[in-house]
Structure 1
Amino acid sequence: MHSKTNIFYIILIGFIILLNIDSSSSDHDDHHDDHHDGGTQCFSGDSLIKLSNGEYKEIGNLQSGDEIITIDQSKIISTEMVMILDKQISKQALFYTLRTDSDNEISLTQYHLIPTIDSNGNENYLFAKQIKIGDYLFVLFNGKLKYSPVINITIEMKKGYYAPLTMKGTLLINNVLASCFANVNNHHLAQYYMAPFRYYYKFAQFMSVYDPFNINKTEGLYSTVNMMFYFARYFRSDALYL
């Protein structure tokens, strides 16, 4: 993983973030129009996110620095919201809505990753379209971690989708654990390549800049993410599903 090519790729993306951080708002829509129609896509606009203070916030209202709940190595922890990788308020997308026995629902686009637990207790990340009835998802139920089987799957068009990025690379959507990443084959590799965003976010916080990615001003696929897909096609095409 830590080859010279990978290190070069991370450094390159870091420079791209710095070069595009001020211009992303103005030229963002043009980048998005040229991108693959799937974009990153992600979660439906009706998704609710649980904050560390116990309150819930609509996914479209998330801000950089929000402390939200996630699950890491079977532990319930807090993680920070870094940015929105892709935000579409009015566009429609096809969603796989998974309902669990615990009566939780999560709506994801077909190539969005979600962790499951197998009979041996191992965690596996699958695309939403690969999930089958009976697969176990991680859910937060009455404040405790639970493994709950999927009992119903519906495919439907919904308006609006959002792709939040957290420090841990995961988050709870309607109390169901999900990856922050779509259109990639490996959750952990995607988290590795998102390091420049996390580093820049922490640096911006240190400099008292609390919205370094202009979350409220940009709509569409973030310009740097668009460039990351472009470079990944050359350096790590095996890691993408586009």
Structure 2
Amino acid sequence: MLLPTLVTCLAGCAFFLSPVSEGCGPGRGYGKRRSPRKLVPLAYKQFSPNVAEKTLGASGRYEGKITRNSDRFKELTPNYNPDIIFKDEENTGADRMMTQRCKDKLNSLAISVMNLWPGVRLRVTEGWDEDGHHSEESLHYEGRAVDITTSDRDRNKYAMLARLAVEAGFDWVYYESKAHIHCSVKSDHSVAAKSGGCFPGEAVVTVESGAQMSISDLRPGDRVLASAGSDGSGELVFSEVLTFLDRDPVTWKLFYTLQTESGAQLSLTAAHLLFVSEGNCSEGVAPAFGTLRTVYASDARPGQCVLVSQGEVGQRLGEGHLSRLNQVTVRESRGVYAPLTQHGTVVVDGVVASCYAVVNQHSLAHWAFSPLRLIHSWTGTTGCHGNGIHWYSQLLHWVGRLVLDSGRLHPLGAPGTERPAK
């Protein structure tokens, strides 16, 4: 029967693949087992990630003050965790009120504190502020920020407490004062808190008719320009779009924009894979065999060469040729799209890119998605999928987080956590 065969195929992929990947898959929240590693305390006045708190790469934009009488008050939930001490100097319970995301991260941090320092508990000195005691547009007004110490108020512990907060998943942690650590999170309903995609909605692909099409208008079954080579090189061909590994028309994301000397300009998220050639690459020539490798978009640097397409509609497609990166910038854009083609590559805005992300090996990622391509060849579909993360990407991501050391995954591979280049 077909169904048992499909189940067997998926089960084998899920439980026996160690080099898994995903196409800009889901963010944090899945269980994972990491190898023991030394935690490095934050330095005084250091913040992580190294961007401003209210940017997309950290906790996101301020969305307005929440009061007890506002409709948004229902966004807050009380935290009655007995392992956390709430100072509550106002005696109103306000410090216990927070968003669900903040509550989850705080509860996770409380466990880490007790594990590291037996007998010591986490202490919250400031939570939701309904009295206007903080600076304008403080995330304390939205229940998205907390100031914390340890219950013993041992300031020698605060640098490590800040590191534990980072590990617990807070979206921004600041060793703000000798007296406390400041932590904040993304809005629960904000598009910044959602998992993301790979290319912005206005990115352009070339379909088999030769026409240019916005990636937001692309549909499964369309055939788009791609590379037949496993390393991005080789003949340019038209490859069928099997599905979208991620598709969200409304999400705002942070994109790395790569400008080449040939004029091609590609935007993609931090953890997405790109084919580059190092060293002395000649502008306009085809890459030599074996000289290309994949890097994350966040690791792309001026001086590296990427593959760009050439030729006009109606001409022989030929192969991609090299063009040197002369600028890398960061910008925000709306809409995230990650098409999966039969060949695992796609030419977007004239640049050859991988369809995959997070694990820095295109060939392994392509292999990990073989069962999905097999399902499509048998059934003509990859399963029911609308907007959001494809179920198969979520499956591979979950398994990968369980079996892979975190060092093998992009540190920002959890979409929604991208940070600008330094």
Query: How far is the alpha carbon of 1:78 from its aligned partner?
Result: 2.0
1:51-100 deviation line (CA, Å, top 9, x unaligned): 12211221122222211111223211221111001111111111000111
Please list, as runs of the form range in 1=range in 2, the aligned pairs for 1:154-165 lying within 5 A after superposition. 154-165=329-340
Corresponding position of 1:97: 257
1:124-157 deviation line (CA, Å, top 9, x unaligned): 1011111111211100122453211111211011
- Which of 51, 57, 70 is matched with 2:213 structurally? 57
| Rg comparison, structure with higher value | 2
Q: 1:116 to 1:15 in 2, by over 3 A?
A: closer
Amino acid across the alignment from 2:402: Y
Corresponding position of 1:42: 198
Task: Provide structure 1 residue ranges, at least 5 long, that are not aligned to the other structure.
Answer: 1-7, 17-30, 206-210
Distance in 1 (alpha carbons) for counterparts of 2:328 and 2:27: 30
- Which of 402, 406, 417 is matched with 1:234 structurally? 402
Corresponding position of 1:174: 349
Q: 1:190 to 1:240 in 2, by over 3 A?
A: same
Distance in 2 (alpha carbons) for counterparts of 1:127 and 1:187: 11
- Matching of residue 186 in structure 1 with residue 389 in structure 2: no
Corresponding position of 2:175: none
- Which of 307, 325, 331 is matched with 1:150 structurally? 325
- Matching of residue 70 in structure 1 with residue 226 in structure 2: yes
Corresponding position of 2:303: 134
Corresponding position of 1:221: 389
| Contact kept? 1:13, 1:228, Cα under 8 Å | no
* More moved, 32-41 vs 127-136: 32-41
Higher relative contact order (CA 8 A, sep 6+): 1
Distance in 2 (alpha carbons) for counterparts of 1:237 and 1:64: 34
CA RMSD of aligned residues (A): 2.8
Distance in 2 (alpha carbons) for counterparts of 1:240 and 1:13: 22
Distance in 2 (alpha carbons) for counterparts of 1:59 and 1:9: 33
Greater helix content: 1
Return the TM-score normalized by structure 2: 0.47
Task: Provide structure 2 residue ranges, at least 5 long, that are not aligned to the other structure.
Answer: 1-6, 16-25, 31-168, 170-192, 281-287, 313-317, 414-422
Aligned length: 214
Return the TM-score normalized by structure 1: 0.79
Distance in 2 (alpha carbons) for counterparts of 1:159 and 1:142: 30
Distance in 1 (alpha carbons) for counterparts of 2:339 and 2:12: 18
